[in-house]
């Protein structure tokens, strides 16, 4: 589904990703771990198409299509979802109105008509239940005045509503207490199926106790330096990132 080949990315002239390769298939959950500054969030942003990131080499294919040429909304319509590390507040725009617009835009892209209000509300209720989000949060403006945990939960709720093929979770666990973490993870687990895939970016192994990944990759210094299964996450947890840093420090900065 997602095929990243030799991806090189710079920000303001500084090279962050230095030839990254990654393949994600349908039905898989991949975790990307790595120390601060390794390029984890850059990877998430580049997949989603954020400005200010200059792709200097390599490619990202999504279902065989080169998405680097697509605008961020076109990528979203193709089925790419990013759960933001720092979700944005949009004052005055209710979450319901926001999601209705998004759902209908995506439907139109697929050649479907707008969703009936009744059907939309039913879906809203169902997904609220699924991710255990407080119903009055969806009546409020998008993320405005939400706590850190509420914002993260709202990201997962939006994911449930938009039902993407590929969801990239950028440090969704940061700033969450243990209960919120479990709720978020449960939401993801409920949404997992054989047709979609997840790319879970995290600094800690903690989240992976709840979302069991099929593969774990270690991102360090702009490249994936180690890949394995969930045991690799445990190994990282016990040995720490210094272990990786020592082993791969010969890679020129």
| Minimum distance, C-beta of residue 166 to another protein, in the bound complex (Å) | 12
User: For another protein, what does the binding mask look like between residues 83 and 112, x meaning CB under 8 A?
Assistant: -x--xxxxxxx---xxx-xx--xx--x---
Cα–Cα distances (Å) from 46 to 7, 27, 72, 92, 146, in that order, read 10, 22, 10, 28, 26
Residues 6+ apart with CB under 8 A from 45: 53, 82, 170
Q: Which of 9, 28, 30, 49 binds another protein (CB under 8 A)?
A: 49
Q: Which of 13, 14, 36, 51 binds another protein (CB under 8 A)?
A: 51
Report the residue number, 164 or 213, with the smaller CB distance to another protein. Answer: 164
| Minimum distance, C-beta of residue 67 to another protein, in the bound complex (Å) | 13
Report the residue number, 48 or 218, with the smaller CB distance to another protein. Answer: 48
Report the residue number, 187 or 213, with the smaller CB distance to another protein. Answer: 187
Does the protein bind another protein through residue 213 (CB under 8 A)? no
Does the protein bind another protein through residue 73 (CB under 8 A)? yes
User: Phi, psi (5° rounding) for residue 243?
Assistant: -60, -45
Does the protein bind another protein through residue 65 (CB under 8 A)? no
| Minimum distance, C-beta of residue 39 to another protein, in the bound complex (Å) | 19
| Minimum distance, C-beta of residue 183 to another protein, in the bound complex (Å) | 21
Report the residue number, 6 or 97, with the smaller CB distance to another protein. Answer: 97
Instruction: Tell which residue, 174, 239, 237, 181, has the closest CA to residue 202.
Output: 174
| Minimum distance, C-beta of residue 91 to another protein, in the bound complex (Å) | 6
Report the residue number, 146 or 215, with the smaller CB distance to another protein. Answer: 146
Is 27:194 a contact under the CB 8 Å cutoff? yes
Q: Which of 25, 50, 65, 112 binds another protein (CB under 8 A)?
A: 50
Residues 122-141, interacting with another protein (CB under 8 A): 141
Binding site for another protein (CB under 8 A): 48-52, 71-73, 75-77, 81-82, 84, 87-93, 97-99, 101-102, 105-106, 109, 141-142, 158, 162
């Amino acid at each position: 589904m997602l095929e990243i080949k030799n991806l090189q990315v710079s920000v303001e002239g500084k090279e962050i990703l230095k030839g990254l390769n990654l393949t994600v298939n349908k039905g898989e959950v991949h975790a990307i771990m790595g120390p601060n500054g390794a390029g984890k969030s850059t990877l998430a942003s580049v997949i989603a198409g954020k400005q200010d990131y200059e792709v200097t080499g390599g490619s990202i294919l999504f279902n065989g299509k080169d998405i680097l040429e697509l605008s961020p909304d076109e990528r979203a319509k193709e089925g790419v979802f990013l759960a933001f590390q720092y979700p944005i507040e949009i004052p005055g725009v209710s979450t319901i109105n926001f999601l209705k617009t998004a759902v209908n835009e995506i439907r139109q892209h697929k050649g479907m008509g707008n969703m009936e209000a009744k059907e939309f509300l039913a879906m809203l209720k169902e997904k609220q239940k699924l991710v255990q989000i407080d119903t009055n949060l969806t009546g409020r403006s998008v993320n405005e005045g939400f706590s850190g945990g509420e914002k993260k939960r709202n990201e997962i709720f939006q994911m449930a509503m938009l039902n993407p093929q590929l969801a990239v979770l950028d440090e969704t666990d940061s700033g969450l207490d243990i209960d919120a973490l479990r709720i978020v993870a449960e939401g993801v687990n409920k949404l997992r199926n054989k047709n979609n895939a997840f790319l879970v970016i995290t600094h800690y192994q903690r989240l992976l106790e709840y979302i069991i990944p099929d593969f774990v990759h270690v991102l360090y210094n702009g490249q994936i330096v180690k890949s394995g299964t969930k045991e690799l996450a445990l190994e990282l947890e016990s040995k720490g990132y210094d272990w990786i840093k020592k082993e791969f420090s010969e890679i020129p900065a």
